[in-house]
Chains A and B, each alone.
Chain A
Amino acid sequence: QVQLVESGGGVVQPGTSLRLSCVASGFSFSSYGMHWVRQAPGRGLEWVAFMKYDGSDKFFADSVKGRFTISRDISKNTLFLQMNSLRVEDTAVYYCARVRDNHSPLRFWGQGTLVSVSS
C-alpha cells in the first residue's frame, strides 16, 4: 500500500538549515507529483512546495521562495525539502503528499515531521 514517511525534523536556530526527507513506497515514485504542506502549531494547513512527476516544474509558496528547494532521488524513492535561512515562523509540522498532477487532490499524506525554529 502507499506509504509516505517523513523525517529530518528537529529543533534549530534561526538562520540555519535543515533537510527534510519523505520516503515513498507502494507506488511508482517517478510517476507522481509531490507536495510539501505545513501546519504551524494550532494553525491551519499551508501549501509549501510542489514538484511535478517528471521534475520539470517546481513551485514554491511566496513565504519560502528563495529559501527552500525541493528535489528527489528516484533511486531511493525519496523526496527532499531543503530549508535554508530558517525563520521562527517556519516552525510547523511538515507533511509530504502525493498527487497525480497539478490539479489532483492530495490523496495520500505522510505522518509529518516537526520543525521547530527557536533561539
Chain B
Amino acid sequence: DIVMTQSPLSLPVTPGESASISCRSSQSLLHSNGYNYLDWYVQKPGQSPQLLIYLGSSRASGVPDRFNGSGSGTDFTLEINRVEAEDVAVYYCMQALQTPPWTFGQGTKVEIK
C-alpha cells in the first residue's frame, strides 16, 4: 500500500502570509499518461471534506487561485497564498494511482496566529 505523509501536522499562519503543506508518497504517483494521481481535500470545521486540487495541480471548480498544487512523483506541495481567516481547516492529500486502497495523508491543521 502507498503511504502518504504530510508535514507539518499543524501550521499557524498570519493572515496575509503564505502557507505551504508538504505531502510525500511512499511510491511514485506519476502515471505513464503524465498525470500525477494526487488530490488535495479541505475540511473546514464541522463540514464534510471538499475537493480542492486534483491531478496534483488542477483546481477544483470554485477554488480561488490563492490555492496552488505542485509537485510530481513522490513530492507534492499545497501552497495557500494570502491566507484568510476562512482558510482555517484541515487539509488532506490522497493518492488515487495504486488502488485499492485509496490512502490519505494524516491531515494538516491550518490555524490563524
The answer to whether B99 touches A107, judged by C-beta atoms less than 8 angstroms apart, is: no
B7 contacts the other chain (CB 8 A): no
Chain A residues numbered 27-67 whose CB sits less than 8 Å from any CB in chain B: 35, 37, 44-47, 50, 59-62
**Chain B residues bordering chain A, tally (CB within 8 A):** 26
A35-B102, A47-B101, A109-B50 given as contacts; is B96 within 8 A of A104 (CB)?
Answer: yes
Instruction: Report the separation of the CA atoms of residues A50 and B102 in the bound assembly, to the nearest whole angstrom.
Output: 9
Q: How far is the CB of B111 from chain A (nearest CB, A)?
A: 15
A76 contacts the other chain (CB 8 A): no
Q: Mark B53-92, 1 if CB is under 8 A from A, else 0.
A: 0110000100000000000000000000000000000101
A23 contacts the other chain (CB 8 A): no
Where chain A touches its partner, the secondary structure class is: loop
Report the contact-size class of chain A (Cβ under 8 Å from the partner).
Answer: 20 to 34
B45 contacts the other chain (CB 8 A): no
Q: Which residues of A contact B22 (CB under 8 A)?
A: none
Instruction: Report the separation of the CA atoms of residues A107 and B53 in the bound assembly, to the nearest whole angstrom.
Output: 10
Q: How far is the CB of B52 from chain A (nearest CB, A)?
A: 9
Q: How far is the CB of A32 from chain B (nearest CB, A)?
A: 14
B103 contacts the other chain (CB 8 A): yes
Q: Which residues of A contact B94 (CB under 8 A)?
A: 45, 106
The answer to whether A105 touches B102, judged by C-beta atoms less than 8 angstroms apart, is: no
Instruction: Report the separation of the CA atoms of residues A105 and B102 in the bound assembly, to the nearest whole angstrom.
Output: 10
The answer to whether A95 touches B49, judged by C-beta atoms less than 8 angstroms apart, is: yes
Q: Which residues of B contact A60 (CB under 8 A)?
A: 100
The answer to whether A61 touches B48, judged by C-beta atoms less than 8 angstroms apart, is: no
Q: List 26 A-B contacts (CB under 8 A).
A: A35-B102, A44-B106, A44-B107, A45-B49, A45-B104, A47-B102, A47-B104, A50-B102, A59-B100, A59-B101, A61-B101, A62-B101, A102-B96, A103-B31, A103-B96, A104-B96, A105-B39, A105-B51, A105-B54, A105-B55, A105-B60, A105-B96, A106-B39, A106-B41, A106-B51, A110-B48
Task: Give chain B's interface residues, CB within 8 Å of chain A.
Answer: 31, 37, 39, 41, 43, 48-51, 54-55, 60, 90, 92, 94, 96-97, 99-107
